[in-house]
Amino acid sequence: MTNFMMEIVQSSLIAESANHLMSQELNLLMRQFTLFYSGIGILATFITILISVSYWKTIKDAKEQIDSLVKKAVAEEISNRVNQRIEDVEKIIQKEAIVSQTVAKYCLPMLNPDVQLLEEYQLLKNRGFQISPVENYERRASYAKCHVLIMDFVNANFPDDQEVVNILKEVANNIPDKSTIVIYIKRRVAELDSIFSNQDVYYTPANNILTLMGRVIDAAQIANTTK
């Protein structure tokens, strides 16, 4: 009995020791798992922080890049518009310079006409042309140094087309080559195109004051390139 009891006691001690060891192993394993999962959590948190920082840095960089592109585009647009305005102003200045340098002759083919009292004459003078009346349209000297000739058949009031044609033919015989003529008349004259067909001159009709002003300015541009 004594040996039997001793074996039971030993078995009990062995079982208790085994249970204790298993308990220790389980506790150690649990701690290891806890540390492992804690490490995973910390790593995940760290990765999340890195991603967040990288994300916000990317957003910031993108915003700065977009702002830079927008500022560059705005600066280029402003520069283009300013340059365009400068070019427009330069063209206006050049156009005005041409007008002020243009010698215009105003012909009203009537006896002793008071040309300088005409509204059209005053408008052209105020516009800046170096304008003066043609004293005698039948004289070649009347067109000396003339860049643009204005033939006024509106205020002269010639109802007969043939009279207009005859006067223009006389003028065509006296004006120098490459002259520029603005024919101020309210109606169309059928023979107008044939009058200057054999001469090196430029001509254009005008049938009202507004058209007259524009055509004289255009004629000055042409005269400036051909004189």
Kind and range of the H or E element at 183? strand 180-184
In the predicted model, what is the mean pLDDT of residues 208-215?
94
Q: How confident is the model at residue 10 (pLDDT cuts 50, 70, 90)?
A: very low
Summary mean pLDDT of the chain: 75
What average pLDDT does the segment 3-20 reach?
47
Please report, rounded to a whole number, the percentage of residues in the chain having pLDDT higher than 70.
67
pLDDT digits (tens, 9 = 90+) for 57-108: 576 665 666 567 656 766 777 777 777 777 777 777 777 778 888 899 999 9
Q: What is the pLDDT of residue 27?
A: 58
Residue that is written with structure tokens 């041409």 in the block: 98
Model-level pTM? Answer: 0.61
Backbone φ, ψ for residue 166 (5° rounding): -65, -40
- Looking at per-residue confidence, does 31 or 156 come out higher? 156
Tens of pLDDT, residues 106-164: 999 876 678 889 999 999 999 999 999 998 888 888 888 889 999 999 998 788 888 88
Helices (H), the chain: 2-101, 119-127, 161-174, 192-195, 209-226
User: Cα–Cα distances in Å, from 210 out to 120, 149, 215?
Assistant: 10, 17, 9
Say what the pLDDT of residue 227 is: 64
Can you tell me the distance from the alpha carbon of 224 to that of 210, in angstroms, rounded to the nearest whole number?
Answer: 22
Per the model's pLDDT, the better-predicted residue between 125 and 32 turns out to be: 125
8 Å CB contact between 127 and 136? no
CB 134 within 8 Å of CB 161? no
